[in-house]
């Protein structure tokens, strides 16, 4: 019998061989569950020493009901589905992998930006239908302004990638960083109104919380240039869908590139699917072979560290 039991709460990956190989070294058995609700986690993970958590909710109710659980690792950067305070009160270490997909998500943001700028998605669809000599104004990349809302790891990776594009400048709204800190990587700190009114590309790089939910709404969209492109590779609820749809339908901004959505899966009946000035992907900005391998490796090492009495590399909460 193994010394530890580690549960995968909701299986989204085709293989967990990486996790198993790492956890085998500490005599931990990996078991697979199919949890959708917090009651599912309580029922299926009751005797687990650790949990790999994907999309299932780890609520206060769960934290109180799993006295054996020592660590919960959230697969990814965000941890909105984990009640951190309840886990801390219950003595459960919460970890994540905040740095695994910087390259991948910033690559994807750039891909969406370029696709919107040159109407790649629309042109591909129309040509497949037999069209040619399509109308529509495209714009030159050189001389444009990129604005990032939130200037963390992924935003900085994107900024580095556009450094050779001969942009006019990169500006950022981030109340948690000083002008001097932003200037260190070639970015000018601005207030939100200036960023919205001057940027040609606006890329969101924020967690969702009460402060940021719906941060892109009618008021903000009305401040943008009619040629502005909005990119969201962070979280769907940062955007008010009704307001963005109205702006796109009435051409008040040029386009949007959306990898994350308020409702997932998006579904073929989504109003976004009827628009030619939006590029849609399926919340897979993080998903590259290299990124997934890094996520799995670092997640398993987080759990192995806690179970063997060591400090994890990526703690979210601090236990006394």
Cβ atoms 253, 229 nearer than 8 A: yes
CB atoms within 10 A of CB 318: 7
Cα(252)–Cα(260) distance, integer angstroms: 21
Cβ atoms 63, 80 nearer than 8 A: no
Output phi, psi for 235, to 5 deg: -145, 135
Phi-psi region of 187 (alpha: psi -120 to 50; beta: other; left: phi over 0): beta
Instruction: State the catalytic residues.
Output: 235, 264, 283
Cα(236)–Cα(260) distance, integer angstroms: 5
Q: b/e string for 249-273 if b means 16 or more Cβ within 10 A? A: eeebbbbbbbbbbbeeebeeebebe
Cα(288)–Cα(298) distance, integer angstroms: 15
């Amino acid at each position: 019998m193994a010394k530890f039991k580690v549960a995968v709460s909701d299986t989204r990956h085709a293989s967990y061989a990486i996790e198993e190989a790492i956890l085998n070294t500490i005599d931990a058995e990996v078991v697979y569950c199919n949890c959708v609700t917090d009651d599912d986690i309580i029922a299926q993970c009751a005797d687990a020493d650790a949990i790999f958590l994907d999309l299932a909710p780890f609520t206060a109710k769960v934290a109180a009901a799993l006295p054996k659980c020592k660590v919960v690792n959230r697969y990814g950067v965000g941890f909105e589905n984990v009640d951190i305070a309840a886990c801390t009160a219950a003595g459960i270490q919460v970890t994540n992998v905040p740095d695994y997909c910087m390259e991948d998500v910033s690559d994807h943001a750039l891909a969406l930006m370029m696709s919107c700028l040159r109407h790649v998605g629309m042109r591909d669809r129309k040509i497949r239908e037999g069209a040619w000599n399509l109308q529509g104004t495209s714009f030159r990349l050189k001389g444009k302004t990129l604005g990032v809302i939130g200037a963390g790891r992924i935003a900085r990776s994107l900024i580095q990638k556009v450094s050779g594009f001969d942009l006019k400048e990169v500006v950022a709204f981030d109340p948690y960083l000083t002008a001097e800190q932003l200037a260190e990587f070639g970015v000018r700190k601005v207030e939100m109104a200036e960023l919205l009114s001057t940027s040609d590309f606006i890329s969101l790089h924020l967690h969702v919380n009460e402060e940021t939910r719906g941060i892109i709404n009618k008021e903000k969209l009305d401040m943008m240039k009619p040629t502005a492109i909005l990119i969201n590779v962070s979280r769907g609820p940062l955007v008010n869908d009704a307001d963005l749809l109205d702006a796109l339908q009435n051409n008040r901004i040029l386009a949007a590139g959306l990898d994350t959505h308020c409702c997932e899966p998006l579904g073929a009946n989504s109003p976004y699917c009827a628009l030619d000035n939006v590029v849609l992907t399926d919340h897979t900005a993080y998903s590259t072979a290299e990124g997934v391998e890094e996520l799995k490796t670092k997640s398993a090492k987080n759990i192995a560290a806690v179970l063997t009495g060591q400090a994890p590399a990526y703690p979210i909460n601090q236990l006394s």
